[in-house]
Chain A
């Protein structure tokens, strides 16, 4: 595996993961633009990437920078989801029409760093060492941000769930 793969293999192997990360970080409306910017920048820089580099971590790093650019470019602050419709099913696991909205909305409300750390850890499956290099700070701090974020999500989910059951 020391030979550099054709770029097509990177798109094939990591395109979906990078899109998930973009959705979690900048929201569905801007995710595809950030994905494009990420892969175009990666294609440009690819000839200089060492053949033994971890391509997924490299792509997520680029996606991270591009998402910051997108936010700085004065687009609306990341708000991954519109409010769920009023008639959203209140029962148990978020309803059939907009499945997942509950969590989606909760992820959107996390502080920026927590949201990013969770996306890089659980959607891109990167180790905290790599995540710390991407977002800055120590691996321990990244781990803490992830568990704080997970705790908030869990609380939000529990609240929504209870509310749903009592409705």
Chain B
């Protein structure tokens, strides 16, 4: 809301127009735009207020969900954590705003951007893409994934970096060899791509299968891992 819109609203209210006696109409009535200490807000001030709010919310147990962004070779990733751990990693193509709105619905709307709360996750993601980390060591919150899908996700970190398994291999490994399609949908709905390595699951014929981050991203990750392995 700029001062100018406020001025035009004033006009709609009929509070303006009389003008300052003997003065030009350009000055307006009481032109709030002439009171910059009132209306101008330095972005630095808002940043500081935001940080203080996040601190207090955190201390008082009101910060249910924190998020931050990290730039990677596969685009900007959104990292989201609850108090229990990393709950969501999202690619840009999923629509970061849409992902956050969905989390507000499903988990809690008490969501703030607090990069500090995800400093360790961001560091490990950086190391991974830099070829300096082979596996993630982070508390995970799997509450977005239930039942069989969760069982599948829990198995995935066992596939070592540089290797792949087929959907059928994974089905066998989790004790349900006929659930190949269900493994496919568990991977497709993985709320923690990159960190929980669903990209290491491919078709039995060696073709890629699908990926939440797009096939290009899946290829990039597998190449990166092949080089690091």
A contact residues vs B (CB 8 Å cutoff): 3-8, 11, 15-17, 19-20, 23-24, 28, 32, 35-36, 39-40, 43-44, 46-47, 81, 93-94, 98-104, 106-107, 121-125, 143, 146-147, 150, 153-154, 157-158, 161
Q: Which of B18-44 contact A (CB under 8 A)?
A: 18, 20-21, 23, 27, 29-32, 34-39, 41
A-B contact pairs, 14 of them (CB 8 A): A5-B101, A5-B104, A7-B109, A8-B112, A16-B1, A32-B49, A43-B112, A98-B37, A102-B35, A122-B6, A146-B13, A153-B30, A154-B29, A158-B23
Assuming the A-B contacts A6-B100, A158-B20, are A146 and B50 also in contact, with contact meaning beta carbons closer than 8 angstroms in the complex?
Answer: no
- Collect the chain B residues with CB atoms within 8 Å of residue A24's CB: 38
- Collect the chain B residues with CB atoms within 8 Å of residue A4's CB: 101, 104-105, 109
Residue from B27, B38, B53 within 8 A of A100 (CB atoms): B38
Cβ A150 vs Cβ B15 within 8 A: yes
B contact residues vs A (CB 8 Å cutoff): 1, 5-6, 9-10, 13, 15, 18, 20-21, 23, 27, 29-32, 34-39, 41, 45-46, 49-50, 52-53, 56-57, 60, 62, 65, 67, 100-101, 103-105, 108-113
How far, in Å, is A100 (CB) from chain B's closest CB? 4
Cβ A104 vs Cβ B21 within 8 A: no
| Most interface-central of A8, A11, A20, A94 (chain B CB within 10 A) | A8
Assuming the A-B contacts A5-B104, A36-B49, are A20 and B36 also in contact, with contact meaning beta carbons closer than 8 angstroms in the complex?
Answer: no
Q: What residue of chain A has the Cβ atom nearest to residue B99's Cβ?
A: A6
How far, in Å, is A49 (CB) from chain B's closest CB? 8
- Collect the chain B residues with CB atoms within 8 Å of residue A7's CB: 104, 109-112
- Collect the chain B residues with CB atoms within 8 Å of residue A125's CB: 1, 5-6, 9
How far, in Å, is B48 (CB) from chain A's closest CB? 8
- Collect the chain A residues with CB atoms within 8 Å of residue B52's CB: 36
Cβ A43 vs Cβ B62 within 8 A: yes
Residue from A19, A20, A93, A146 within 8 A of B49 (CB atoms): A19
Cβ A8 vs Cβ B111 within 8 A: yes
Q: What residue of chain B has the Cβ atom nearest to residue A13's Cβ?
A: B1
Cβ B56 vs Cβ A19 within 8 A: no
Residue from B15, B35, B109 within 8 A of A103 (CB atoms): B35
State the CA gap A161–B103 with chains docked (Å): 54
- Collect the chain A residues with CB atoms within 8 Å of residue B10's CB: 122, 150
- Collect the chain A residues with CB atoms within 8 Å of residue B18's CB: 154
Cβ B104 vs Cβ A3 within 8 A: yes
- Collect the chain B residues with CB atoms within 8 Å of residue A19's CB: 41, 45-46, 49
Cβ B5 vs Cβ A11 within 8 A: no
Cβ B38 vs Cβ A43 within 8 A: no
State the CA gap A146–B30 with chains docked (Å): 12
State the CA gap A147–B52 with chains docked (Å): 37
Q: Which 6 residue pairs spanning A and B have beta carbons closest together?
A: A6-B111, A153-B30, A100-B35, A103-B35, A16-B41, A100-B37
- Collect the chain B residues with CB atoms within 8 Å of residue A157's CB: 20, 30
| Most interface-central of B27, B45, B49, B101 (chain A CB within 10 A) | B49
How far, in Å, is A167 (CB) from chain B's closest CB? 16
Cβ B104 vs Cβ A123 within 8 A: no
- Collect the chain A residues with CB atoms within 8 Å of residue B105's CB: 3-4
